Chain A
Amino acid sequence: MAQVRDVGVKDVEEAIYKLALDAAYHIPEDVLEAEKKAYEREKSPVAKKVLETIFKNIEVSAQGEFPLCQDTGLAVIFLEVGQDVHFTDGYLVDAINRGVERAYKDGYLRKSTCHPLTRENYGNNLPAIVHTFVVPGDKVKIIFDAKGGGSESMSKVQMMKPADGRDGIVKTVVDWVIQAGPNPCPPVIVGVGIGGDFERAAVMAKHATLRKVGEPSPDPVLADMEREIYEKVNNSGVGPAGLGGLTTCLGVHIEMEPCHIATLPLGINIACHVNRHKEIVL
């Protein structure tokens, strides 16, 4: 029988605290790299200017006083918990929320959660949104995704018809990202979830935005769809900040799961050009 490993929730709280601060002020390396490549390729002078401003923004933010974006996002956490882990010294989700609350206070990050109807701001950026997956082993992997409202609002789940198939999905995603235009702060990363069910399509789509930018799916069928969507979206002319150019998206990432014979769920989640996410394994 496998040994059970104790993990104190205080360690989870500290990890969340550090990841949240890091995500708010420091862009992921792979995102910056993709933007630099796009800059080299870009032909529009306005687009180049926009990308230069984005690079300057990254530099100013890295000095630690001004976060990358004023919208420091909802705290979305993907938690992969090894089944041999036993959390001790408190309730896991409380610890996660404490880590988020402290980071958003100490880091001068904007508190963006509110009552959906009265719109009253809760002032603490809580609750965090936690997606938990039980996996083999005795480790805990935490991915922290600071998800802004502008790109999130340009996301959707659509229950497609099975007959829509591959080409229907490609067209739906391309049309959707192009009509979103300047709203989600392009150049964007497009996350797509195909199959599963209604809510799995959405979770897969968001999880897909966290893949290393531009790394193709290991499934050649999906990799081919990713390439086609990438090309068509970048052919739209929308460009950085929607001000025209060749760089509307930096990457298209698709995840897929089996679905019901009567359904073809499609999730589309867009990440903006800072795509703030950081991870750690405990």
Chain B
Amino acid sequence: MAEYKLTTPLTDDDIIKLKAGDMVYLSGVVYTARDAAHMRMIKALDEGKELPFDIKGQVIYYVGPSPARPGRPIGSAGPTTAYRMNPFAPRLIALGQKGMIGKGKMSDEVKQACMKYKACYFASIGGAAAVVGSAVKEAEIIAYPELGPEAVRRLVVEDMPLFVCYDSYGNDLYEMAKKEWAGKFTTTA
């Protein structure tokens, strides 16, 4: 298990050195989007329109933050469950998206897209929302403000701790970790 400091936008070279189980401290711009924003982005693509941001090399954080208090850029901001973005992620990866941040399993199609187009799915700790939110440096709504917590935001983060969950080689951290610890509760605890 290696540790890397990376800054967005990510390149193929960044992605191919990452293996499931590695830790990444991510800095730079990440974009937020969840179900409703993804539906709109896919609709935009279907209609031949532009996405609200240039997707190449970017990382999308699946999050719907709580409201910012005065003087703060954002409220709490932990990951939402990623499988709901299964229908959308492969298409965006094919367009150059390099990473997703979320929690929970995604589909085999997402894994295949990560392998084919060199991308990674990063797992964040579900529920560590106050820790992440208090570490966000800047936040700005750049699209779909009427979606409220689901609007697309441009965040600037510094050293956001992430686990490489699906790498570009088809490995799956959740499966690896489960296998390693299965059966050990009764024998060691």
User: Which residue of B35, B65, B177 is within 8 Å of A110 (Cβ)?
Assistant: B65
Contact of A111 (CB < 8 Å), options: B148, B185, B189:
B148
B178 in contact with A41 (CB, 8 Å): no
- Please give the distance in Å from B156's CB to the nearest CB on chain A: 17
B170 at the interface (CB under 8 A from A): no
In the complex, the chain A residue whose C-beta lies closest to that of B131 is A57
Interface bits B142-159 vs A (CB < 8 Å: 1, else 0): 000001111000000000
Q: How distant is the Cα of A47 from the Cα of B149 in the complex, in angstroms?
A: 30
The one of A60, A72, A153, A240 that contacts B66, using a Cβ cutoff of 8 Å: A72
CB of B36 within 8 A of CB of A119, answer yes
Interface residues on A, range: 35 or more
Point out the residues of chain B lying under 8 angstroms from A231, CB to CB.
185-186
Given contacts A60-B131, A70-B63, A246-B184, contact A183 B177 (CB under 8 A): no
* Interface residue total, chain B, C-beta cutoff 8 A: 52
State A67–B184 Cα separation when bound (angstroms).
34
Contact of A150 (CB < 8 Å), options: B81, B150, B185: B81
Chain B residues 105-121 with CB under 8 Å of chain A are 105
The reply to whether the CB of B13 lies closer than 8 angstroms to some CB of chain A is no
Chain B residues near A181 (CB-CB < 8 A):
104-105, 174, 178
Q: Are B76 and A70 in contact (CB under 8 A)?
A: yes
* Stretch in A10-18, A48-56, A84-92, A134-142 touching the partner: A48-56
- Contact between A243 and B127 (Cβ–Cβ < 8 Å)? no
Taking CB atoms, residues of chain A closer than 8 Å to B104 are: 150, 181-183, 242
- Contact A65/B181 with A181-B105, A235-B186 known, Cβ cut-off 8 Å: no
A246 near B131 with CB under 8 A, answer no
Which of B83, B125, B184 interacts with A50 by CB under 8 Å? B125
* A–B Cβ pairs within 8 angstroms, 5 of them: A65-B134, A66-B66, A182-B104, A237-B181, A240-B125
The interface of chain A, by Cβ under 8 A from chain B, is 41, 43-44, 46-47, 50, 53-54, 56-57, 60-61, 65-72, 108-112, 119, 121, 123, 149-150, 153, 181-183, 185, 231, 234-246, 272-274
